[in-house]
Amino acid sequence: MALDTLQAFLGWCSIINIGILLWWSLFIIFAHDFLYAFHGRWFKISVETFDAIHYVSMAFFKLTIFIFNVVPYFVLLIIN
């Protein structure tokens, strides 16, 4: 696989994943009560636990985006 193809792939993966993270963040900010009520029917958790789960999950997702997409993209940008 050519470096240009891999670089383009990682660039698009980064854009798509950051878009998903932004969508998730906006959904939590603007539809928090709806999401909590929806998930509260399935799981008996408090609002604090619900917020903690989403906060940690979003932090993990952001970290994996940077480790596996953004950093390799910039490395390929530097060496190419």
Looking at the chain, the whole-number percentage of residues with pLDDT higher than 90 is: 94
Question: Considering its fold, how many domains does the chain have in total?
Answer: 1
Query: Measured in Å, how far apart are the chain's first and last C-alpha atoms?
Result: 14
Residue pLDDT, tens place only, 21-40: 999 999 999 999 999 999 98
Q: What is the rounded distance in angstroms from the CA atom of residue 19 to the CA atom of residue 17?
A: 5
Q: How far is CA 10 from CA 15, 16, 29, 76, in A?
A: 9, 10, 28, 9
Residue 1, pLDDT above cutoff 80: no
Domain extent for 8: 3-79
DSSP designation for 43: S
What mean pLDDT value characterizes the chain?
95
